Chains A and B, each alone.
Chain A
Amino acid sequence: MLELSSNRHNPGIDPALHAWGWEIPVYLFLGGMVAGLLVLGGFHILKGRNDPHAEAYPWAPMLGVVLLSAGMGTLFLDLSHKLYVWRLYLTFQPTSPMSWGAWILLLVYPALLLAALLHPPETVPFGDAVLARAKVWSRWLRMRPRLVQAIGAANLLGGVSLGIYTGILLGSLGARPLWNSAILGPLFLFSGLSTAAAALHLLSMLSKRQVKGQFGDALLGGFFKLLDPKAGGEAMLRADTSFLTIELGIMALWLLGLLTATSVHREAAALLLSGDYAPAFWALVIITGILTPLFIQTAELSGKIRHTAAPAVLVIIGGFALRWILVSAGQTSHW
């Protein structure tokens, strides 16, 4: 029997680390989804299928810009010494995934914007002049296939980097045994891809409805008109099914890795598998986020049931829960 006691009681640290609250999981979730959007969008561009009316892919970059901004917003909210945020960009710290991330974010932004520029919307609520100018640039860009290819490649690469980095960020923090695995990179990438696919799928689903109302008319109306629901929806379903399957496989590998490492790592894995976080992990991440959508989507694809928004919503819930639980449980895991 070992009886341990300590008189340390630092806020955010004791009794178990809880330095990161909601902001980081939200950021990781959004960042992952953006990574997925980048990869899907980039892939699409590279394949040359840049017809703006074809499907949902072209909207990936637009959605990406919005989500990335939101994600960076939460990241900023998490910083406790906000006025010094510019310090990130006076240096590059090769051993710090956070530094890599800061620069990746900076590079991903123009890639996304350029990708968006390839398919500008037909109307925007205000700023027709800007839109007109954008369309000029868009035309200019699209006339240069090499450049388009480069943009596609940049998106793909940026997406993979962003996706992997969000995992590596946690994985490199060796002090938290739950995170202590390089496989977190691919896990987050594939989880990001699945949520991105789900998001695009949702978009296409939504666009099937006649969007009415003032705001919708102004922005979304135009927006959704451009989507080809059928093709997009189907492709997204297929993509998501494979992403989810891979994600499940990686998750199994990660947990197996922990279970076969030291007792400290075993204890960390137990937090998810049988400990305090197990109910949430099993219910939200595995059942809600992976198994159920897989099941439904398989049924949908084989035509057994009607397409619904349900699997996409579940995948997104699962993707968010994964980050949330991982960030919370990981902090409490310790040597």
Chain B
Amino acid sequence: MNLFSRRRFLRITAGTLAAAGLGPALLGGPRARAAGLGGALQTIPTFCDICFWKCGAVATVRDGKLWKIEGNPKDPLSQGRLCPRGTGGIGATFDPDRLRRPLLRAKVRGEEQWNVVSWDEALGFTAEKMKKIAAEYGPEAMGMFSHGLGGNFLKHTLKAYGAVNFAAPSFAQCRGPRDVGFRLTFGDDPGSPERTDIAHAKCLVLIGSHLGENMHNTQVQEFAQAVANGCTVIVADPRFSVAASKAKHYLPVKPGTDIALLLAWMHVLVKEKLYDVEYVTKHGYGFEQFAAYLEPFTPEWAYPETGISPDVIRETAREMGRHHPATLVHPGRHSTWYGDDTQRSRAVALLNALLGSWGREGGFYIPSSMELPGYPYPAYPPKGEKGKVDNPGKKYPFAHEAISTGIREATITGAPYPIKGWLTYAVNLMYALPNQAETIKAIEALDLLAVVDVIPSETAGWADVVLPEATYLERHDDLNVELFRDSFIALRQPVVPAPDEQKPNWWIAKELATKLGLERYYPWKDIEEYLGHRLAKGGYSFDELKKNGIILGPKVPRTYEEGVEPTFETPSKKIEFYSTQLQEKGFDPIPKYTPPDPVPRGTFRLLTGRAPTHSFSRTQTNPLLHDVMSENEVWLNAKEAKRLGVKSGDKVRLKNQDGVVSELVKVKATERIRPDCVFMVHGFGHTSKGLKRAYRKGASDSQLQTRYRTDPLMGGTGMSMNFVSVELEPS
């Protein structure tokens, strides 16, 4: 209660009583309604699902209607405050565009013509097709794409069925390269939620990580805390991001040249002995080779590559050195940019290693999680000889998760073996994977595409059967046993009932299993029984969890200083400045810089990112969030705009190197971006007719990203390889 001093507070209380006494007469009918007074209030804790940060939340229901949702103060992720998407998440429940009943395709795939059917029919159809696929090609021919916690039960059904190919776009289209780069260096990855101790950083380096637009809640909260505490922020970004506006040093780096910048920074740190000598000596492996390798990469060398002057490179390197080990070079998250991303991420990891920030306060803490046994299911059928399709022959030797685009490729080529069915859960592949033509080609090779979604996404438009899920505010999900700074278990529970025939994923999974004759894999009656069982076995109270939404684990040490034993799961059991693993597989053991492809004349490199009020391609029809941002804009350097004769608000189309033309999109002519690139927020320009509110508003980066470069280390798809020209509309 820091709102008023005590004196003032007493007066307010008196005022409140007076107001209460006069009641509605004073406040007036309509005002009372609009102000949200009155009505029977009920609060229900749960956690958010508008992105994968899974913030703890408390929903308020007034007279049986969902009113608002706020952060759960007990939750370490949200710390009582949600991000704008979380706050607006309730819009998903009353989105008029949402799916209502199961749909079976009526005509040709992709034409979005449907017959509304019963669940029995829809799941019966799906199960029949799956049985047929298993009979003809084996159960391995059924693949699944899912993103987030909600896919757990469907995965369970598919595993029981014998499927082995499961992938999420969060690896090969998102954090894969970063995770691999860090694993190769520290033997572990930054995780999700990232183990970054931003709040205590004294110097924070953001290489493209656009915190503040990227709204991963805890990170943004800690970022603001750091700025408030006077943390020195250094931002390298071709665009003057929101984070850049908080920075002491803004480096307008040329897109695709970050490795050069990183090498030069490390050169300065080593040359000037500004690095954490003790830490490196104690934990480092191959430092001598590394130091020798850095010799030629002076700031002067990096200048023509990056466009960042040697003075600035030196000054910022010294800032980092000055604050180490509380200098956090943010690992980034969406790291699939140029195809050399694992090496870039490894360079970021190495810079952190030099600064001694891994395992240290203000750097990367060591997270912990609570022990909670899984449900004792019967064993899955034994896996066949075939193996997985996404990475045949370990073509990408360092991929430790399945490669979504690998499954897509196998579906197209039929090699190493045919994939004939896809089940997708909470992924919009048409938006998540680069090159939509390839996705369509793969879909056309399928015997079954079953899509579980809450809205008629573009991918649902291509489906044979669409299964409408209840939103996160209308269902239970599996428990979130979080690996984080503070360990905890969180519960998602329904706040309001689903308005129509939408069903939760656990129900769909269980019914599908029944239709497949796999009911023995579902020994529980309903999810409450399942959750209760798991919690009881872990020794936790379900009732407490229902009431508080969260059970906190014990506090444990989080840094080396606090007593965590440093361990590195690398071959040398040390931080690998020189990677023998990479060398053995024929890759550069220390990151090498290769200049990006030049930007063809008359075009701009297409960069993409986030807007704080939207998640990927999933929130554009949410009435609350749409209201705040209804379309994206293409950011164009002000002088380039002038040269092209366009101004802010003009509508243009973007045309990429392969002749693909975007929807009409508004220009944002701005001093906030380099002249050699344009920027667009991902997720707009929807073409699914069912997404009425968002239909053809803004432009889709996914549509324009026809080219991608695959990271040879782990199969990630670098997507910032596309060039667009600005096509003026004849007015």
Contact = CB atoms under 8 A, between A and B. Distances in A.
A–B contact with Cβ pairs below 8 Å: the answer is: yes
Interface string A1-24: 101010100000000000000000
A1 B638 contact: yes
B629 A3 contact: no
B628 A3 contact: no
Nearest to B613: A7
Contact of A7 (B628, B648, B668, B671): B628
Contacts of B628: 7
A184 B668 CA distance: 39
A128 B638 CA distance: 76
B275 to A, nearest CB: 40
B43 interface: no
B638 A7 contact: no
B581 interface: no
A5 B638 CA distance: 14
A187 to B, nearest CB: 35
A7 B648 CA distance: 14
Contacts of A7: 628-629
Nearest to B630: A9
A5 B648 CA distance: 10
B interface, how many residues as a size bin? under 10
Contacts of B648: 3, 5
Nearest to A4: B648
Interface in A163-220: none
B323 to A, nearest CB: 33
B670 interface: yes
Contacts of B629: 7
A152 to B, nearest CB: 45
Contacts of B671: 1, 3
A1 B642 CA distance: 13
Contacts of A3: 638, 648, 670-672
Interface string A28-55: 0000000000000000000000000000
A3 B670 CA distance: 7
Interface in A53-76: none
A278 B153 CA distance: 68
Contacts of B672: 3
Nearest to B649: A15
A3 B635 CA distance: 13
A1 B638 CA distance: 10
A3 B628 CA distance: 20
A36 to B, nearest CB: 40
B241 to A, nearest CB: 15
A1 B670 CA distance: 10
Interface string B619-639: 000000000110000000010
A5 B670 CA distance: 10
Nearest to A81: B30
A5 B672 CA distance: 13
Nearest to A1: B671
Nearest to B670: A3
Interface string B661-674: 00000001011100
Contacts of B668: 5
A76 B648 CA distance: 39
A1 B671 CA distance: 9
B643 to A, nearest CB: 16
A7 B628 CA distance: 7
Contacts of A5: 648, 668
A1 B637 CA distance: 13
Nearest to B668: A5
A86 to B, nearest CB: 16
Nearest to A8: B628
Interface string B507-549: 0000000000000000000000000000000000000000000
Nearest to B633: A5
B226 to A, nearest CB: 26
A13 to B, nearest CB: 15
B620 to A, nearest CB: 15
A228 B397 CA distance: 106
A7 B631 CA distance: 11
A143 to B, nearest CB: 53
A172 B638 CA distance: 39
A201 to B, nearest CB: 46
B157 to A, nearest CB: 43
B629 to A, nearest CB: 7
Nearest to B628: A7
A79 to B, nearest CB: 16
B448 to A, nearest CB: 42
Nearest to A15: B649
B70 to A, nearest CB: 22
A157 to B, nearest CB: 38
A80 B671 CA distance: 42
A7 B612 CA distance: 13
B493 to A, nearest CB: 33
A1 B641 CA distance: 14
A3 B637 CA distance: 12
B622 to A, nearest CB: 15
A233 B383 CA distance: 106
A7 B638 CA distance: 20
A229 B671 CA distance: 69
A7 B630 CA distance: 10
B671 to A, nearest CB: 6
B632 to A, nearest CB: 13
A7 B672 CA distance: 17
A3 B633 CA distance: 15
Nearest to A7: B628
Interface string B138-162: 0000000000000000000000000
B381 to A, nearest CB: 53
Contacts of B670: 3
A22 B369 CA distance: 66
B611 to A, nearest CB: 10
Contacts of B638: 1, 3
A91 to B, nearest CB: 16
A5 B666 CA distance: 13
Nearest to B629: A7
A3 B629 CA distance: 19
B681 to A, nearest CB: 13
A69 to B, nearest CB: 31
A3 B672 CA distance: 10
A1 B648 CA distance: 14
A80 to B, nearest CB: 13
Interface in B644-681: 648, 668, 670-672
A165 B229 CA distance: 56
A7 B625 CA distance: 12
A72 B388 CA distance: 79
A7 B668 CA distance: 13
B28 to A, nearest CB: 11
A90 to B, nearest CB: 15
Interface in B664-702: 668, 670-672
B19 to A, nearest CB: 22
A1 B629 CA distance: 25
A81 to B, nearest CB: 10
Contacts of A1: 638, 671
A308 B648 CA distance: 52
A234 B628 CA distance: 62
A1 B668 CA distance: 15
A12 B648 CA distance: 22
Nearest to B672: A3
A276 to B, nearest CB: 16
A303 B670 CA distance: 64
A1 B672 CA distance: 12
11 contacts: A1-B638, A1-B671, A3-B638, A3-B648, A3-B670, A3-B671, A3-B672, A5-B648, A5-B668, A7-B628, A7-B629
Interface of B: 628-629, 638, 648, 668, 670-672
Interface of A: 1, 3, 5, 7
Given A5-B648, A7-B628, 4 more contacts: A1-B671, A3-B671, A5-B668, A7-B629
5 closest pairs, A vs B, by CB? A3-B670, A7-B628, A3-B671, A7-B629, A1-B671
